[in-house]
Chain A
């Protein structure tokens, strides 16, 4: 049972009217003067008792009439199964699933956190009338889009974020994009965070280790540096040079190594072969003859990262080219200021082994060469953001303070169900009571002792 117009219940105040009339009407008895009492018998019943009984019944009926009318005006709606479905509180839900690196960790149940998050998202989507699921590595940035989608929905709306909620993952400022009438739901997926996180960075011949330790609401980081075991810097690509270039290349490799790059440790991906070919390499012409445009996805990704590498772009623009352009096809990675290609990328296949070949037109000992070696290392390094290493998470209390329920849209606007309310039955009741009332007024009081 629900009421479409609950304010009409204030009409119940009108019930006070017959009660007032009843109370005010109980004044002294009417007195009529008459010549003689000789022929008049006193009435046999106690007058007060009789009128009180009679009046009370009438009062109840009159109050009932008003109550029925007030209830009818309040437009009751008996919630049958059909109506419940029709009413059903339609809700649009924009669900953001955090797919950031931290979500790759395992939950206490052994599955990956992002898998659990997707399952939660599916459940949330099922319980809403309309929903959209956004997957993002940066949920805070996806909130604006989710809020914009909710604005296109006619019903109540809610933004749900499923994440492990590392510290800094989301804050009130991010949520301010959501209109006040939309709800906010933050669902945490528990991921097992390592209690201590180590990050290794290689700078030149030094390995630098950052050891992060969560301590309540802060994190302590301990930095240690020690020489690499190899003694010479490693490069992440095969460098192909002519004999005269080798010394100049050595300088470029050392220069590139001073740019710190996060180390992947031993997990180097050997299936991705990358080579840099310098102008004086003897096999260069033969390699370029069978080269094609890079087609494998990882090659495209690496190429895209290189093109965007600002250090490489700057170095190449000022490069002095030692060799003219070849007639090979390929992706231009960087150009000189004059528009000549300084670095291009091609795909080379040799005895079934496919590799990405970066063709340099600048000298092996040039700044462009060093920038290229560093850029390749960066492009292959895991692009994990430092924030993703944060082991602490937002407290439940903080999440609760950020959440809010969606505001119901007024029934008259969106939720008005089809068909009339059940008020007509109450009107029938009121009419019946009215008939009973007039009948009670007309029938003389039975003489019952």
Chain B
């Protein structure tokens, strides 16, 4: 799993990033973190229009060497691409009450906000259009996908004002978000995917089948991955407020199995439906998680049979 790679020393920890009030600053810090260090840049996958050749320098990705030119001129050139604005990214954010967990420390929702902001910042900086679709209190909140810094600012401001509450209807929000993209684009869904599992999966599949590039970013906290309750506890559902008396001793193992099965289900179904899937943990720095996700995505696109992202 990508999210389990260790945090590098240059990465800001999840809690530090989450503590930054200014969402734009937080997003920029995350994106800058992606660029620094000896890692290859993950950005090329989004930018597909050839711009110019540049003489090869040590360290350039061999993937971008122009071998045909080498065959003709016996010199090594690296292809460079020009950023284009023909890509629309719609971020679908889960703002249901279940995201407001853990109640102490970095909540899943805060983490999701930062990831969404960083993605928006990244996409917008490369000249693409980015939009937001979420649902609070049963009402859809929609920011149309556009480019430009003023739009990014307003999107980030809208993101900042969100707070998790009540339940949401993922199939409706996802379908509506995809519909509102003017053309085929990228739909990134950030959620814990607890609600309406089958309907959500069906909606995601429909979106993917309509030609959108769909990504599932599943957010979980360590406390959810490994049940951390002791003794006899009455557990209250954050969304439905139902209560259930649970004996930790017997529930622990059973919960672990059920959770593993759920995650495995999410992963295999995403793979089967051609959907990008990444599990993000709130204790891993957002930039580390994002880099892993973006790198896997670019490598997948590079070897993908679908030529969508490579050439257009």
In the bound complex, residues from chain A placing their C-beta under 8 Å from that of B243 are: 31
B49 in contact (CB, < 8 A): no
**Minimum Cβ distance to chain A for residue B116 (Å):** 19
Q: Is the CB of A39 within 8 A of B234?
A: no
Contact status B237-A34, CB under 8 Å: yes
Please, which residues of chain A bring their CB within 8 A of the CB of B98?
Answer: 35-36
Residues of the A chain whose Cβ atoms lie less than 8 Å from the Cβ of B240: 37
| A11-59 CB contacts (< 8 Å) to partner B | 29-45, 47, 51
Residues B244 and A32 in contact, CB atoms below 8 Å apart: no
Within the complex, which residue of B229, B249, B259 is in contact with A32, where a contact is CB–CB below 8 Å? B229
**A35 close to B101 (CB less than 8 A):** yes
In the bound complex, how far is the Cα of B221 from the Cα of A34, in angstroms?
Answer: 11
Docked complex Cα distance between A29 and B233 (Å): 7
Is there contact, CB below 8 Å, between A41 and B254?
yes
B192 touches A30 (CB 8 A): no
- Asked whether A33 lies within 8 Å of B101 as measured between CB atoms, the reply is yes
- CB of A444 within 8 A of chain B? yes
Docked pose: A29 CA to B251 CA in angstroms: 17
Distance A45 CA – B232 CA, assembled complex (angstroms): 11
For the complex, give the distance between the alpha carbons of A29 and B229 in Å.
13
CB of B235, distance to nearest CB on chain A (Å): 5
Q: Are A43 and B246 in contact (CB under 8 A)?
A: yes
Chain B residues near A43: list those with CB within 8 A. 232, 245-247, 250-251
Look across to chain A and name the residue whose beta carbon is closest to the beta carbon of B231: A30
B103 at the A interface (CB under 8 A): yes
**Is the CB–CB distance between A35 and B232 below 8 Å?**
no
In the complex, the answer to whether B232 meets A32 with C-beta atoms within 8 Å is no
Task: Please indicate the chain B residues that have their CB under 8 angstroms from the CB of A29 in the complex.
Answer: 232-234, 245
A447 at the interface (CB under 8 A from B): yes
Residues of A within 8 A of B101 (CB): 33-35
Does B137 lie at the interface of the complex (its beta carbon under 8 Å from any beta carbon of A)? no
**B234 & A30 in contact (Cβ 8 Å cutoff):** yes
Whether B232 pairs with A38 at a CB distance below 8 angstroms is no
Given the complex, which residues of B lie within 8 Å of A447, measured CB to CB? 250
Complex alpha-carbon distance, A32 and B233, angstroms: 7
CB pair A51–B232 under 8 Å, yes or no, is: yes
Which of A162-188 touch B at CB < 8 Å?
Answer: none
The chain A residue with its CB closest to the CB of B221 is A35
Cβ-based interface call for B262 (8 A): yes
- How many Å from the CB of B233 to the closest CB on chain A? 5
Q: Is the CB of A36 within 8 A of B239?
A: yes
Q: Is there contact, CB below 8 Å, between B236 and A34?
A: yes
B5 within 8 A of A: no
What is the size, in residues, of chain B's interface with A at 8 Å between Cβ atoms? 34
Question: Complex: how many Å from CA A9 to CA B73?
Answer: 107
Could you say which residues of chain A place their CB within 8 Å of the CB of B235?
31-34, 37, 40
- The reply on B258 being an interface residue by CB < 8 A is yes
Contact B192 A35, beta carbon cutoff 8 Å? yes
Is B247's CB under 8 angstroms from A39's CB? no
Q: Is the CB of B224 within 8 A of A35?
A: yes
B238 and A34 contact, CB distance less than 8 A = yes
> What's the nearest-Cβ distance from chain B to residue A46, in Å?
9
Contacts of B254 in A (CB 8 A): 39, 41
Does B64 reach chain A (CB closer than 8 Å)?
Answer: no
Q: Name the residue on A nearest B255 (C-beta).
A: A39
Closest A residue to B192 by beta carbon equals A35
- Collect the chain A residues with CB atoms within 8 Å of residue B224's CB: 34-35
CB distance B237 to A36 under 8 Å? yes
List which B56-113 residues lie within 8 A (CB) of chain A. 98-99, 101, 103, 108
A36 to B258, CA, bound (A): 12
> A39 near B262 (CB under 8 angstroms)?
yes
CB neighbours (8 Å) of B250 from chain A are 41, 43-44, 447
Give Cα distance in the complex from A44 to B234, angstroms: 13
Q: Whole-angstrom distance between the alpha carbons of A36 and B224 in the complex?
A: 9
Q: Does B242 contact A (CB under 8 A)?
A: yes
- Bound: A447/B250 CA distance, A: 9
Bound CA span A35–B254, Å:
17
B50 within 8 A of A: no
Scoring A29, A32, A45 by chain B CB atoms within 10 A of each residue's CB, the highest score goes to: A32
Contact call A47/B233, Cβ cutoff below 8 A: no
What residues of chain A lie closer than 8 Å to B238, measured between beta carbons? 33-36
A30 and chain B: residue at smallest CB distance: B233
A284 to chain B, nearest CB (A): 127
In the A-B complex, list the 9 residue pairs whose CB atoms are closest, starting with the nearest.
A43-B247, A39-B258, A35-B98, A29-B234, A36-B194, A35-B101, A444-B249, A37-B237, A32-B233
Residue ranges of B at the interface with A (Cβ–Cβ < 8 Å): 98-99, 101, 103, 108, 192, 194, 224, 227, 229, 231-240, 242-247, 249-251, 254-255, 258-259, 262
A-B contact pairs, 9 of them (CB 8 A): A29-B234, A29-B245, A34-B229, A38-B258, A39-B259, A43-B251, A44-B250, A45-B247, A444-B249
* Interface contacts beyond A29-B234, A32-B235, A36-B192: sample of 11 additional A-B pairs, CB < 8 Å, sorted by A: A29-B245, A33-B235, A35-B98, A35-B237, A36-B238, A36-B239, A40-B235, A40-B246, A40-B251, A40-B255, A51-B232
